[in-house]
A and B are shown apart, each in its own frame.
Chain A
Amino acid sequence: MTVTTVSGVWALAAALLLGVAALAAACLDGLLAGRSAGGAALAGARVPLGEAARLMRQRRRRTVAADALLWRVGGGGLLVAALLMVVVVPLGRWTLADLPVGVVWFNAMDVLVWAVVWLVGWGPNSAHALVGAYRFLAQALAYELPLMFALTAPAVAAGSLRVGEVAAAQRGLWFAVWMPVAFAVYCLGVVAFSVWGPFSPAAASDIAGGVLAELSGVDRLLVLAGRYALLAAGAAFAVPLFLGGGAGPLLPAPLWVLVKALLLLAALVAVRRRLPAARPDRFVEAGWLVLLPAVLLQVLIVSVVVVARS
């Protein structure tokens, strides 16, 4: 399957698609929240829309001696990182940028989230927000290395860092099936860099919302939307990397990409209500002593298989 690079105008369509996926994720979370609260689930699904409208009209709250420039950069940064991630995700046979090192590109964009979340916490000159920012960096030190090696495994198996070629290398058997550890660690990494569910102590209620503490109005909307967009972008990137790209019966390839991405996104959203919070100070040890050796072993197995097959 050859990948065709489409004109840059289509970036608007990709952004729209990412926005719709992020909104769907927010509505699903609202629905699950409504159901677990015992209320009407459908009313819960409408909550994100109402909340978005409310935040767009809300007046901005100011703090003393805030670093407004860095704060705004951080506030918009999550969405930008998510948009840059989906640039290298092929939709069937079309892609916006067929970079020869697409996998590394994705990795660089998820590292961008380190800087962005820290800036959101630093900007308002507020103790709680800064504590949240440092929590995120501690967590990032724990998840980033396992995530990097989880990204390495499919690239080694495909013998290419080009996302389209990684997807094409999964004829017959998805990478998620024969490298389950890498896939699991990748999903964990996506949840972690999206500051989501068990990996959201940076925005936890015990520090008054952490990095979200002082955010209000449209700034808050951008950060909350950015979290969902990051989840959606991570789920979309998993499709060419682990879930066989556009391969599937009956439906055309682009639709299969969307279906797989949305299913994984729904699973990642649902994780929030299933797992307890992972304290960054404890998760660091788990990341380095459990996840990293496990995923290194996975890469070793993949490498041995690749050498044996060639």
Chain B
Amino acid sequence: MIESVAFWALGVLAVAAGIAVFRVDSMARATYALAVSFVAVGAALLLVDLHYVGIITVLMMIMEMAIMAVYMIMFMGMNPALMPMSMVHDHRQAVVAAVGGFVLLAGGALLVPWPTRRGAPAADTTAALGEAIMGSKMLVMMTISPVMVATIVAGVVLAAPRGRYERFGDDLRRRPADDPQPGGVGR
């Protein structure tokens, strides 16, 4: 009983905070309204005993929103992020797309004939999740990981305005390095 009430309360909170993202007039409020929405989703996952997924959702989303607030305020031209501003662009089409998307997904969730459960959930869902991801899919994970790391490194190399030649000179012999902002370990 109390779990059902909590589940519905969290569901309503998640949707309400999601709506608030587009109703408030400040970047900071929009960001943290989104964070509240995600935290409510994470807490709802805790209620269905998906402990690990629920808590990791809360962890990742708060971290992401904290970083997102930095970028939004850093990269907004003329810094309107510090002033009241509208959170919507292209209002009419956005509303149509949002309502259409919601109807499609909610309708799908309600109308699809869901299969009945076969078997029982594992006693330790965290361990079961680990097995599912890391057991049979380990080869895939091990193949994808280096590719992802290489992609990140390549992206950083392409985006970095200064490379080692700027830091150490054309013959790479200049010490200490010529950095606009000296680092903490004296490289």
Contacts and interface: CB of A to CB of B under 8 A. Distances in A.
B62 A108 contact: yes
A137 B66 contact: yes
Interface in A56-113: 67, 69-70, 73, 99-101, 104-105, 107-108, 111-112
A119 B29 CA distance: 10
A111 B32 contact: no
Given A67-B28, A119-B32, A108 B181 contact: no
A114 B66 contact: yes
Interface residues of A, number: 32
Contact of A112 (B26, B62, B185): B62
Contacts of B126: 100-101, 161
A306 interface: no
Contacts of B32: 70, 73, 115, 119
Contacts of B99: none
A80 B65 CA distance: 19
Given A67-B26, A286-B184, A289-B185, A118 B59 contact: no
A16 interface: no
B49 to A, nearest CB: 9
B183 A111 contact: no
B30 to A, nearest CB: 11
Contacts of A284: 183-184
Interface residues of B, number: 26
Interface string A161-180: 10000000000000000000
A75 to B, nearest CB: 14
Given A114-B62, A134-B70, A137-B66, A283 B184 contact: yes
Main secondary structure of the interface of B (DSSP, over half): helix
A101 B70 contact: no
Nearest to B35: A115
A208 interface: no
Contacts of B35: 115
Interface in A13-60: none
B66 A118 contact: yes
Contact of A285 (B58, B59, B185): B185
B2 to A, nearest CB: 12
Nearest to A73: B32
A115 B59 contact: no
A115 B184 contact: no
B185 A111 contact: no
A143 interface: no
A105 to B, nearest CB: 6
Given A67-B28, A67-B29, A99-B51, A285 B183 contact: yes
5 contacts: A67-B28, A69-B29, A101-B52, A115-B66, A122-B69
Given A99-B51, A108-B58, A122-B28, 4 more contacts: A105-B55, A111-B66, A134-B70, A285-B185
Q: Which 7 A-B residue pairs are closest in the complex by CB-CB distance?
A: A282-B184, A285-B183, A108-B59, A285-B184, A286-B184, A114-B66, A101-B51
Interface of B: 26, 28-29, 32, 35, 51-52, 55-56, 58-59, 62-63, 65-67, 69-70, 124, 126, 181-185, 187
